[in-house]
Chains A and B, each alone.
Chain A
């Protein structure tokens, strides 16, 4: 039997258990909503404006930098697995790849993208 079937079962049970807990709570708990209770919780102060607005762009830039690094690092996993049998040449190749990655980081750094503006 494939290991993926067991992973799938984990996903299935992993959803069933929290859903079960939340449904049990939903059955047991009182339900007495009123308009004041259902307002947004901001320490008693009434909400001003919409919450779903355009937000600080800095987060987006960090997400972009992350994306590049994440994808590139995933490429390194097959290299790391086969490192022992590939010899010194593959090691040097991998190091050049990582150096290119670091060059990207240095570029981002010099551009001031890592500063919290």
Chain B
């Protein structure tokens, strides 16, 4: 029974016993066991990544009325492995004008920036949580995300290609801009949980934060899609004009790293959305039964988030870059800051009230704010339109 309550802890203790039995010092053993744990998690993530390639290809096909991979193995399940073999034995072309060091570093950084995000993901109440509940977890998410911005500008600049440079500039402009509403919205779970630690944020969600701050969850979702550089915010790789954007000069496994990194990044942000607003591994006490069940709950929620991100990607058209930046700076950012102020104020004013008053007034204030912001945007755009087109003619009603 002890093993199944916490298999990783049991395995770690068993390994610790073996290593200390060999006469290794205490600290070295701890670091070695932690290293093996991290390696195990990252290998599992890479396997998950391979599955994601299949999921993504299958889902995009269904959205586009195609069947998708169906030849290699049942339902095309072996297809991603065929893709990997192809990427491995494909000739790796480095353009002669490229800055070789930066060019080779960019795909590594791109993958690394995603993998290190999982250092703060609480998988289950027992696993990894207690050891790595970083007290600045919410900030760490943004900081690690910034490394992927860096990898994109590195890839775009070092390729010595105009398409990739334009792609990188656009992508970075979007990623930087949308980081502001994301940061502002990350403050809201922090206020509710009174901590930046991700585990504490999950523990505080007796009521899922999405009921306390539905607008914040929506803003985080939009900003996350922009951070990922996915449609409708995929100006960085607008294939109809930039061929492939910042990664145009990459081939073989280096391209594979960008591709795999992007997929895992999307899944990771689906996971963070679930953790910050949908209770993470919590699901009506089921997470206390067994850590494996808790991990399954988290992965399930992350897959739902990932599914929504894919749904948006394959439904909504690409937006022009100036519209995108206007949308962020003139709509999303002010809205996020106003939401932050309202939340902070209500949190202080309603601290003594019963939970149902607290939750319902938080919820209603979010809805009211979203409605007000939309009305403002609508009247503003109507005014702008009438400046160009003249006043809208009255709707003709037909009488019989």
**Interface pair A83/B348, CB less than 8 Å apart:** yes
* Alpha-carbon gap, A18 to B139, bound state (A): 25
Binds A, one of B84-92, B224-232, B305-313, B383-391: B84-92
Contact indicator B187/A29 (Cβ below 8 Å) = no
Q: State the total of A-B contacts with C-beta under 8 angstroms.
A: 220
CA distance A35 to B93 in the complex (A): 11
Interface residues of A in 7-33 (CB under 8 A from B): 7, 9-15, 17-19, 21-22, 24-26, 28-33
For chain A, residues 22 to 78, give those with C-beta under 8 angstroms from any C-beta of chain B: 22, 24-26, 28-33, 35, 37-43, 47, 51-52, 55-56, 59, 62-63, 65-66, 69-70, 73-74, 76-77
Taken together as a complex, chains A and B put the C-alpha atoms of A21 and B325 apart, in Å, by: 36
A41 B348 Cβ-Cβ under 8 A: no
Chain A facing B: main interface SS: helix
Query: CB of B172 within 8 A of chain A?
Result: yes
- Is B96 at the interface (CB under 8 A from chain A)? yes
Proximity string of chain B (81-118) to chain A, C-beta cutoff 8 Å, 1 when within and 0 when not:
00000011111111111000000100110111001101
**How far apart are B233's CB and chain A's nearest CB, in angstroms?**
14
Q: In whole angstroms, how far apart are the Cα atoms of A32 and B173 in the complex?
A: 37
Q: Contact at A18–B187, with CB atoms within 8 Å?
A: no
**Which single residue of chain A is at the shortest CB-CB distance from B33?**
A1
Assuming the A-B contacts A25-B252, A116-B321, are A5 and B187 also in contact, with contact meaning beta carbons closer than 8 angstroms in the complex? no
The closest CB in chain B to the CB of A78 belongs to: B196
Bound-state Cα–Cα, A32 to B93, Å: 9
Complex Cα spacing A66 to B226, Å:
15
CB atoms of A13 and B190 under 8 A apart:
no
Which listed segment binds A: B71-79, B128-136, B285-293, B363-371?
B128-136
Give chain B residues whose Cβ lies under 8 Å from the Cβ of A70: 179-180, 183
**B382 close to A (CB within 8 Å):** no
Contact call A22/B115, Cβ cutoff below 8 A: no
Nearest Cβ on chain A to B310's Cβ, whole angstroms:
24
Q: With A and B bound together, what is the CA distance between A13 and B243 in angstroms? A: 32
Which of these, B43, B119, B165, contacts A10 with CB under 8 Å? B119
Q: How far is the CB of A78 from chain B (nearest CB, A)?
A: 9
In the bound assembly, the distance between CA atoms of A40 and B92 in angstroms comes to 14
Chain B contact surface mostly:
helix
Residues 320-354 of B contacting A (Cβ, < 8 Å): 321-322, 325-326, 329-330, 333-334, 337, 340-341, 344-345, 347-349, 351
Q: Which residue of B lies closest to A27 (CB)?
A: B88
Q: Which residues of A contact B (CB under 8 A)?
A: 1, 3, 5-7, 9-15, 17-19, 21-22, 24-26, 28-33, 35, 37-43, 47, 51-52, 55-56, 59, 62-63, 65-66, 69-70, 73-74, 76-77, 80-85, 87-88, 91, 94-95, 98-99, 101-102, 105, 108-109, 114-116
A-contacting residues of B (Cβ < 8 Å)?
A: 27, 30-31, 34-35, 38-39, 42-43, 46, 87-97, 104, 107-108, 110-112, 115-116, 118-119, 131-134, 136, 138-140, 157, 159-163, 165, 169, 172-173, 176-177, 179-180, 183-184, 187, 190-191, 194-196, 243, 248-249, 252-254, 256-257, 321-322, 325-326, 329-330, 333-334, 337, 340-341, 344-345, 347-349, 351
Known: A5-B34, A10-B42. 20 other contacts (CB 8 A): A3-B134, A5-B31, A6-B34, A6-B132, A17-B46, A18-B108, A22-B254, A24-B253, A25-B253, A25-B256, A29-B88, A29-B91, A31-B92, A33-B93, A41-B243, A42-B163, A66-B180, A70-B179, A82-B194, A91-B347
